[in-house]
Amino acid sequence: MAQRVKRGPDRKGRFGPYGGQYVPETVMQALAELEISYRKLKKDESFLTELRGYLSDFVGRPSPLYFAERFTAFLSGPKIYFKREDLNHTGAHKINNTIGQILLAQHMGKKRIIAETGAGQHGLATATVCARFGMECIIYMGAVDIKRQAPNVEKIKLLGAQVITVESGSKTLKDATSQAMRDWVTNIRSTFYIIGSVVGPHPYPMLVRDFQSIIGKETKRQCKEKFSRLPDVIIACVGGGSNAIGIFDTFISEKSVQLIGVEAAGHGLNSGRHAATLSKGKPGVLHGSYSYLVYDDDGQIILPHSISAGLDYPGVGPEHSALSDSGRVKYVSATDKQALAAFELVSKLEGIIPALETAHALAYLIANKKKFKVRQKVVVCLSGRGDKDMANFSENDKD
C-alpha cells in the first residue's frame, strides 16, 4: 500500500540536513533563476510534450523490462528483471537527464553549455544533445580519465564539443567538477551548467531526480503488465546516485518494495581505496552541497577508487544521504573484483555486456543470492552498456 512519505527538498533545498547551496553569491542568483524556470516549465504541458517527444524518438524510450532467464536460473533464487537503460541512445541512463536540462537551457535562452565528466558518459550524453540542438559545448575532464576513457573522448570531439583537460589535483572527476564550477562563476550569464548526477547545489539534485524518475515510472507500469504487481526488490548502483534515485523515486512511498543501492568498495571497504560514500563516509560540503563524503584519517576528502570511472566520486547525492539515515534505502557495496566477475558472468549468461558501474549491482545480487526468496521479483537497473569498459576488463582479467 502506498503511504505518504515526506519528500524533499524543502524550501531551503534540503533533504533533512543534506543538500542546500554552498556557493558564491553570483551563483546563488543563477540557481534561483534556474529553480524558477524549472518550477514553471515542469507544469507547462507544451514543455512536457516536447520532452516526451525527444525521450521517445531520440532516446528510444520506453526502455524494456527484460526477464533475465539464464541469470535467474544461475542464481536459482528470485526472478531477475533488467530495466534496460543500456538500450538508450548513447548507451546509458545519462541522456534522460541531459535531454531535460538542454530543453531547460533553451527555454532560459542560454547559448553555451558546460559539463563535467568522469567516465565520459555524461560528457557524451551532453555533447550529443548539444549537437542535436546546435549549442556550443565545453566538457571538463580530468587528464587521468581522458586516458582511461579514450573512446568516449573521441566521440565527444566528433560530436563537436570541446574537451578541456583538467590537470589539477587528482586529475579525475572531482577536479573536473571544480573546474566546471569555476567556469560557471565566470560566465554565469551566458552559460548553462548541465550537472550529470543528483549532486551539486539545489535545485540540481531535485531536477536531475525528476528527469531520471521516468525509469521508475516505466518500471512500475511494466511490472504490472508482466507480473501484475509491484516488484519485491529494486537494486541499482550508486555513484552520484542518479540512476538509483531515478528507479527508486516512485517506489519510495511503496513500503512493500525493498530498495538497495550498491556503492563501489574498490579494493575493499577497509582498504582506503574505495568510493563507498554512504557505507564508510561522513557528512561534509563538496561541490555546493552538504552530503556524505569519504575522508582519510587526516580528515582530507580522499581520492576515491573504483574500477568503474562512473562510480569514482567521493560524494553522493544529498537525497541518498537522507534515505540512508532514515533506513528507507539500504546501501551496500561490491568490490572491483566482484564487479569484474559479474561483468563477465552476465555477458556470458544473457548476451548483455553491462557497464562496470552496473556490474556492482549485479555483483551484490550474486554475493547475496541466499538472502532472496524464490517467489521474489527483483528488478536491477541496468544503467548502461559495457562496451566502453572492454579495455579496462581485458587489462584486469590477466591475473
Ligand X SMILES: *Cc1c(COP(=O)(O)O)cnc(C)c1O
Q: Does 291 bind ligand X (CB under 6 A)?
A: no
Alpha helices in 86-163 (DSSP H): 94-107, 121-133, 143-148, 150-158
Q: Enumerate the β-bridge partners of residue 385.
A: 354
SS3 call for 162:
strand
Nearest in space to 339 (alpha carbons), one of 320, 319, 355 = 355
Q: Which is nearer to ligand X, 89 or 94 (CB)?
A: 94
Q: Does 241 bind ligand X (CB under 6 A)?
A: yes
Nearest in space to 68 (alpha carbons), one of 86, 88, 50, 45 = 86
Q: Does 152 bind ligand X (CB under 6 A)?
A: no
CB of 25 to ligand X, least distance (A): 28
From the list 143-151, 154-162, 242-250, 263-271, the region that binds ligand X by CB under 6 A is 242-250
Q: Given candidates 170, 197, 250, 335, which one binds ligand X under the rule CB under 6 A?
A: 197
CB of 325 to ligand X, least distance (A): 18
Q: Does 355 bind ligand X (CB under 6 A)?
A: yes
Rounded Cα gap, residues 387 and 91, in angstroms: 9
Q: Given candidates 115, 153, 173, 237, which one binds ligand X under the rule CB under 6 A?
A: 237
SS3 call for 167:
coil
Q: Does 234 bind ligand X (CB under 6 A)?
A: no
Q: Does 88 bind ligand X (CB under 6 A)?
A: no
- For 238, half-sphere exposure in the C-beta direction (CA atoms, 13 angstrom radius) is 38
Contact assessment for residue 391 and residue 356, using Cβ atoms and an 8 Å cutoff:
no
- Is 330 marked active-site? no
- Count of residues of this chain found to bind ligand X when the rule CB under 6 A is applied: 20
Subset of 307-336 contacting ligand X (CB under 6 A): 310-311
CB of 309 to ligand X, least distance (A): 8
Q: Does 243 bind ligand X (CB under 6 A)?
A: yes
Rounded Cα gap, residues 127 and 147, in angstroms: 18
Q: Does 240 bind ligand X (CB under 6 A)?
A: yes
Q: Look at phi and psi of residue 40 and say left if phi exceeds 0, alpha if psi is from -120 to 50, else beta.
A: alpha
- Is 94 marked active-site? yes
Contact assessment for residue 92 and residue 246, using Cβ atoms and an 8 Å cutoff:
no
Q: Does 380 bind ligand X (CB under 6 A)?
A: no
Q: Which is nearer to ligand X, 77 or 193 (CB)?
A: 193
CB of 373 to ligand X, least distance (A): 27
CB of 238 to ligand X, least distance (A): 5
CB of 216 to ligand X, least distance (A): 13
Q: Which is nearer to ligand X, 77 or 365 (CB)?
A: 365
Quick check: bond before 203 cis, omega within 30? yes
Rounded Cα gap, residues 234 and 247, in angstroms: 8
Contact assessment for residue 252 and residue 259, using Cβ atoms and an 8 Å cutoff:
yes
Q: Which residue is nearest to ligand X (CB)?
A: 384
CB of 79 to ligand X, least distance (A): 23
Q: Given candidates 216, 239, 266, 314, which one binds ligand X under the rule CB under 6 A?
A: 239
* Burial of 275 per CB tally in 10 Å (0-12, 13-18, 19+): buried
Q: Given candidates 90, 219, 279, 383, which one binds ligand X under the rule CB under 6 A?
A: 383
Q: Does 384 bind ligand X (CB under 6 A)?
A: yes
Q: Does 92 bind ligand X (CB under 6 A)?
A: yes
Rounded Cα gap, residues 330 and 375, in angstroms: 21
From the list 7-15, 298-306, 343-351, 355-363, the region that binds ligand X by CB under 6 A is 355-363
Q: Does 94 bind ligand X (CB under 6 A)?
A: yes
The catalytic residue among 83, 110, 116, 170 is 116
SS3 call for 147:
helix
- For 349, half-sphere exposure in the C-beta direction (CA atoms, 13 angstrom radius) is 18
SS3 call for 62:
coil
Q: Enumerate the β-bridge partners of residue 237.
A: 262
- Is 383 marked active-site? yes
Q: Which active-site residues does the annotation give? A: 94, 116, 383
Footprint of ligand X on this chain (CB under 6 A)? 92, 94, 119, 121, 197, 237-244, 310-311, 355, 357-358, 383-384
